[in-house]
Chain A
């Protein structure tokens, strides 16, 4: 089993053994970088470091070893890659220091540059970010083994389109397409009798989101699983450019509806930093309540999907009823079933009266009790557990290697939660636990979902009970230009929105680092070496969103 799993993870297992238990905070990390990379990294003194800790990488060739040090020796998490085209290329590598916030590394290159050092060999989680930058900006990453045919599918688009370049006009609706006529998927498994089973992009009667899977097999076990995503790519980051802050907000909350509130919150937090708005206390508490309401609803839906995948229909029905009750409660409480149109830079667009809040708490209590009862019953349903236990395992090493986020990472022993690690928007005021499991199998993921749902219900209670009368939205007093990031722990995991506003407060560059984008990369680890009939179950326990990944 070990040899089959390709070379990707081999080097990392060697790497994990070197994990240095030494914990850095921001200061000691800066000192360590100063000591090791004195000639390659310099502090940033300009406006780039106004909101985020920023260091400049002055020698591009030092980037891989810097990445190796940060991720494996210093134990940082990789946040993502943000590419910007201004007077020069600005590549922004975002890292999170365990327990001490974010740090950005900026690499500046002349616009004529076409090749950039790759860090995918050091940080496997960076793989897709580099492939994305290659497809959308035309940047070549040196020695990256697999570039091209990622977001722009080769059977639809020609190579070298680079739609995120500033010169590319997003409005051209009759763009000439020159697809590769003879495109076919790359098959790797060469055993006698090997074949590839294609699934999607229209499958499950279309109720599944548009994703394509290529499952290579010799019969029973899936040997290689390649998800092919971006069927839902709507170029959200491109069409946001040039829009006003409030118009781009519509895109921020609507590219992925299942976590609309979380993403609009991250967006608003970034804008609030640039505009120096202080969000009133009442709006903060309500934002926490609404974000947790969304998490509770999302997890109920994810639990229903897992029950459905194992064909235990009564439990599916019970979880689905809970989800619909929460959708109705969201609509009765806030006017929209998916909580659209509530967040706005500075706070919330509307206030809620006490009776409305009491009704919400009533529904939250009922539904969390129902979920608890459902969990108790599922724990004693042996046929159900047989489908989940020891299925789709992601070891802690693999999870760390791919830097998985959210409930998926927490089920494999990575106790990262931005609400705890980098508190935002008032979470530091509330008491809650971050459920964490070690097994990394389907059942562990289900248990994490159930426990998080209970924690969310508690948080909603605390947030609503701590409500104080007051303003709901801070006005914009000094609209200004600049770049800042906002982050949230979305239902699927850590999400960051990074935005640069120009002098007229129009969006110059908007970047969404979404948790699904990160976690889809881990699917192959869980699916490979398990049987075909486990595939839908593993997929359900992952609970990922294609639209959140594709943007």
Chain B
């Protein structure tokens, strides 16, 4: 029985060095589409019409991407012609455009952040990526970030999913039970705009329709490091990302 201790120690430290140093292991992030300049306006228009959710729009010969609605279906990445450029990276947390007066939590809270997670109609991917933050490879405890089982001690409400009608009540109750100051983090395209589930009689079409969202983490699902970036942004320990600039190389 005591051998477990030995087996644990023998593996050594495998945790990522992020945010101290960038993580470069293959497969930590699927990357994201970038605004791309095409040779002709027709090609840009074709690229835009390839997108099943209308996240790509063409203006002259530039195709730009609205990452808040992108569902990472990869149709502009692989397979067809007129592909967009993709970047690597994972620092994808941003403040919503409607939120002009955003401020991070006071540093007294930011050094020991207690997070309440609510699954509001998620498909399981975003929730699972949040769960990975407890994985030894990410280990968010080393940064003073903890999951809490009760909203009474939570500083951050992390919501995944488009907010299904059956979860609207429990979500609001959880939010109301949290003491001030509190922040709401919407993780994933579904939580930001409803994603593939959109707006319907059963889906509110994003957390923003129900609660004031402070920080959004882009991605469908966002990789664990993107969610970690979101939590660090809430804590005021990282800057939110800005919209990706157009890549230099011509497509």
Q: Which residues of A contact B (CB under 8 A)?
A: 152-153, 155-157, 163, 169-173, 175, 177, 201-210, 230-236, 238-239, 246-247, 250-251, 254-258, 260, 301, 312, 314-315, 317-318, 320-321, 323-324, 327-332, 335-338, 340-342, 349-350, 377, 381-383, 545-548
- From A177, A205, A255, B149 is in contact (CB under 8 Å) with A205
B158 interface residue (CB < 8 Å to A): yes
Give Cα A399–Cα B127 distance, bound, in whole angstroms: 30
- From A251, A314, A320, B135 is in contact (CB under 8 Å) with A320
Closest to B136 in A: A317
Q: Nearest-CB distance from A137 to chain B (Å)?
A: 15
B45-84 residues at the A interface, CB under 8 angstroms: 52-53, 71-75, 77-79
B244 interface residue (CB < 8 Å to A): no
- From A156, A170, A247, A336, B169 is in contact (CB under 8 Å) with A156
Given contacts A163-B201, A206-B117, contact A324 B158 (CB under 8 A): no
Given contacts A235-B201, A247-B52, contact A340 B169 (CB under 8 A): no
Q: Nearest-CB distance from A369 to chain B (Å)?
A: 14
Contact in complex: B128, A317 (CB < 8 Å): no
Contact in complex: B74, A232 (CB < 8 Å): no
* Complex interface: chain A residues within 8 A of B140 (CB): none
* Complex interface: chain A residues within 8 A of B77 (CB): 335
Given contacts A234-B164, A349-B74, A350-B79, contact A338 B25 (CB under 8 A): no
Give 7 A-B pairs besides A254-B123, A257-B221, A258-B128 with Cβ atoms closer than 8 angstroms.
Answer: A177-B165, A207-B147, A209-B119, A235-B202, A258-B125, A318-B7, A324-B132
By secondary structure, the B interface counts as loop
Contact in complex: A329, B121 (CB < 8 Å): no
Given contacts A207-B127, A258-B124, contact A336 B74 (CB under 8 A): yes
A-B contact pairs, 12 of them (CB 8 A): A175-B201, A206-B119, A210-B121, A231-B119, A236-B197, A239-B198, A324-B138, A327-B27, A329-B27, A340-B74, A349-B79, A547-B122
* Complex interface: chain A residues within 8 A of B168 (CB): 156
Contact in complex: B26, A328 (CB < 8 Å): yes
* Complex interface: chain A residues within 8 A of B203 (CB): 234-235
Given contacts A315-B4, A332-B27, contact A202 B201 (CB under 8 A): no
Produce 1/0 per residue, B128-162, CB < 8 A to A: 11111011111000000001110000000010011
Q: Nearest-CB distance from A390 to chain B (Å)?
A: 20
Contact in complex: A173, B74 (CB < 8 Å): no
* Complex interface: chain B residues within 8 A of A382 (CB): 1
B200 interface residue (CB < 8 Å to A): yes
Contact in complex: A210, B28 (CB < 8 Å): no
Give Cα A186–Cα B241 distance, bound, in whole angstroms: 50
Contact in complex: B136, A205 (CB < 8 Å): no
Contact in complex: B201, A201 (CB < 8 Å): no
- From B30, B122, B147, B200, A336 is in contact (CB under 8 Å) with B30
Contact in complex: A206, B25 (CB < 8 Å): no
Contact in complex: A156, B14 (CB < 8 Å): no
* Complex interface: chain A residues within 8 A of B137 (CB): 320-321, 324
Residue from the set B7, B27, B130, B196 with the largest chain A CB neighbour count within 10 Å: B27
* Complex interface: chain B residues within 8 A of A172 (CB): 201
Closest to B162 in A: A234
* Complex interface: chain A residues within 8 A of B11 (CB): 318
Contact in complex: B14, A331 (CB < 8 Å): no
Residue from the set A156, A329, A338 with the largest chain B CB neighbour count within 10 Å: A338
Contact in complex: A153, B166 (CB < 8 Å): yes
Produce 1/0 per residue, B1-44, CB < 8 A to A: 10111011001001000000000011111100000000000000
Give Cα A547–Cα B119 distance, bound, in whole angstroms: 10
* Complex interface: chain B residues within 8 A of A157 (CB): 165
* Complex interface: chain A residues within 8 A of B124 (CB): 209, 256-258, 545, 547-548
Q: Which 10 A-B pairs have the closest CB atoms?
A: A206-B117, A328-B27, A257-B125, A331-B27, A341-B74, A332-B27, A350-B78, A205-B147, A314-B8, A235-B202
B205 interface residue (CB < 8 Å to A): yes
- From A246, A250, A330, B27 is in contact (CB under 8 Å) with A330
Closest to A209 in B: B119
Closest to B29 in A: A331
Give Cα A234–Cα B8 distance, bound, in whole angstroms: 41
B85 interface residue (CB < 8 Å to A): no
Give Cα A255–Cα B124 distance, bound, in whole angstroms: 8
Contact in complex: A202, B29 (CB < 8 Å): no
Q: Nearest-CB distance from A482 to chain B (Å)?
A: 23
- From B29, B117, B128, B136, A257 is in contact (CB under 8 Å) with B128
Contact in complex: A173, B201 (CB < 8 Å): yes
Q: Nearest-CB distance from A126 to chain B (Å)?
A: 24
Contact in complex: A207, B148 (CB < 8 Å): no
B120 interface residue (CB < 8 Å to A): yes
B174 interface residue (CB < 8 Å to A): yes
* Complex interface: chain B residues within 8 A of A246 (CB): 52
Contact in complex: B196, A156 (CB < 8 Å): no
Give Cα A522–Cα B138 distance, bound, in whole angstroms: 35
Residue from the set B79, B115, B201 with the largest chain A CB neighbour count within 10 Å: B201
* Complex interface: chain A residues within 8 A of B147 (CB): 205-207
Contact in complex: B4, A314 (CB < 8 Å): yes
* Complex interface: chain B residues within 8 A of A206 (CB): 116-119, 147, 158
Closest to B7 in A: A314
Given contacts A234-B197, A314-B4, contact A335 B149 (CB under 8 A): no
Q: Nearest-CB distance from A227 to chain B (Å)?
A: 14
B179 interface residue (CB < 8 Å to A): no
Give Cα A204–Cα B132 distance, bound, in whole angstroms: 15
* Complex interface: chain B residues within 8 A of A204 (CB): 149
Q: Nearest-CB distance from A43 to chain B (Å)?
A: 39
Closest to A163 in B: B201
Q: Nearest-CB distance from B6 to chain A (Å)?
A: 9
Closest to B9 in A: A314
Contact in complex: B119, A377 (CB < 8 Å): no
- From B116, B136, B196, A320 is in contact (CB under 8 Å) with B136
Contact in complex: B170, A324 (CB < 8 Å): no
B110 interface residue (CB < 8 Å to A): no
- From A231, A233, A260, A336, B170 is in contact (CB under 8 Å) with A231
Closest to B78 in A: A350
* Complex interface: chain A residues within 8 A of B121 (CB): 210, 231-234, 547
Give Cα A204–Cα B148 distance, bound, in whole angstroms: 8
* Complex interface: chain A residues within 8 A of B5 (CB): 314
B199 interface residue (CB < 8 Å to A): yes
B208 interface residue (CB < 8 Å to A): no
B230 interface residue (CB < 8 Å to A): no
